[in-house]
Amino acid sequence: MVFIEQEDYDFSKQVEKYVTDNGGTYLDAVLCICEDNNTSPELMAKKITKPLKEKLQIEAIELNYRLPNVGTSLF
């Protein structure tokens, strides 16, 4: 697991770069990076910075994703 030692900022920057270079959604970028590095998205959720969380939430609202009944936050 490559990302465990990396700072939260580094992971979020990789997600931003992936979206810039390849297009698509931030959620797709998180999942692709996790898959490429054989890492669980659940583990990496803790590495997502607040600005990226906000972008993911805005994206979810725009795409009409249904949030779990647990609350109104994705994280």
The stretch 22-47 carries a mean pLDDT of 91
High-pLDDT (> 90) share of the chain, %: 44
Calpha distance 66→8 (Å, rounded): 26
Q: Is the pLDDT of residue 72 over 50?
A: yes
Q: Is the pLDDT of residue 18 over 80?
A: yes
Calpha distance 24→4 (Å, rounded): 25
Where is mean pLDDT largest: 25-29, 44-48, 60-64? 25-29
pLDDT at 66: 65
Q: Is the pLDDT of residue 46 over 80?
A: yes
Q: Is 66 helix (H, G, I), strand (E, B) or coil?
A: coil
